[in-house]
Amino acid sequence: MLVTTADVTSWLPGDNLFDSRVTIPPGTPPGDYELDLALVDPSSGQSKVKLAIAGIRPDGWYPTGKIRIE
C-alpha cells in the first residue's frame, strides 16, 4: 500500500487534484498489476471514505487501472 501526504481534510467541495508519483518497490516481480484507490484510516489501513465514483469493491477500494512491470 502506497501512502501519500495528501491532506484530504483541507479539500473543499468540488474538484480537487492530488498529483503524485507511484513508486514501484525494488524487487517487484514482472507482471500485470491492478492500481486501486482508497482513502484509508492511517491506524488500521482500512478504507474509510466512500467516493462519488462507480466501481467500489467489497473491501472499499476502487480499481483505477492496470500497469505492467517488465
* Residues of the chain predicted below pLDDT 70: 1-2
pLDDT at 4: 75
- Could you tell me which residues come within 8 angstroms of residue 39 by beta carbon, excluding any fewer than 6 positions away? 8, 47, 48, 49, 51
pTM for this prediction: 0.68
pLDDT at 60: 92
pLDDT at 1: 65
Cell numbers found for residue 28:
517487484
pLDDT at 22: 76
Provide the 3-class DSSP secondary structure of residue 53.
coil
Which residues face 39 on adjacent strands? Answer: 49
